[in-house]
Amino acid sequence: MMSSVRAAQLLPQELLVALDRSGLIAKQRIAGTMQGKRRSKQMGSSLEFADYRLYSPGDDIRQLDWNAYGRTGKPFIKLYMDEQELPVQIYVDGSASMTTPASVRGADKFLYAKQLAASIGYITLNSYDRVGVTVFSSEAYERLPMVRGRVSIPRLFHFLEQCQAAEAGDIANVFRQPGLVPAKAGMTWIISDFLYETGVEEALSTLLAAKQEVIVIQLLSPEEVHPDLIGDLHLIDVELKSGKEVAISDKLLKDYKQVVEDYTSALRRFCYERGMGYQLLVTDTPLFAAVTETFRYNGWIN
């Protein structure tokens, strides 16, 4: 069990205990560069028996099954499942729109995003798979290079704790940066509100082209989904820093909610049509339920 003070500050202890019993579920078995706990379809050198095949010149004679030879008179080679690691990349949106503070209706959005990333990373490292994390905003980013094993959990938590949100930008620009797109096939999680005027589809398509199993977490605050506003207000865009006088009426709120629903539905449809996982989370969803129930329901963790 992870018991460091830093871990406890970022994730509640009861969630850490639950995550100790969880693992990521990848749709495709992915061949890594180091042995881990994840089975691949390739045969290798783990201790779990898989099958037999007849000996061919050049095979390792140490893998001959002499008992089978004694019974059949034929030289059979033992085959074992190759246990290999799953490379996991986590991208966390750190743009200004993610700075929605905690309220009576929901948690701090950027903190919630980092807690989701910490949960995914914890599960990954606890399974001896590799994980890398990028917190991005516009063309700037902070990055934790790939780490592996439980010994790296404090480093993961420290990295996420110290990351700060910054300015806005085009999300597609992030994935045009050299080295930010995974070089090898693996699993990628991207956590964002996706409140960008352009670039979302391009960014996700870039990850797909990099042979990633992509899971999209769209994170919104309750105020963004169901605003509780009325009257004449001066609203300020946190990204553009510009303001506008708005008369809030029931009709305007209805129209706004329809726009939000249309946008989230379009993003969900875009993901599903391309085989990506998608989940809309609102920050009034308890973190424990989001990770242990919603992620499990979607078949992303066991």
Lowest mean pLDDT among 39-43, 69-73, 140-144, 245-249: 39-43
**So what's the pLDDT on residue 160?**
97
Domains observed in the chain: 5-29+86-297 (3.40.50.410), 38-84 (no CATH)
Point out the least confidently predicted range of 171-180, 205-214, 223-232, 268-277: 223-232
Least confident of 22-36, 98-112, 149-163, 281-295: 22-36
> Which of 191, 188, 189 is closest to 218 using CA atoms?
191
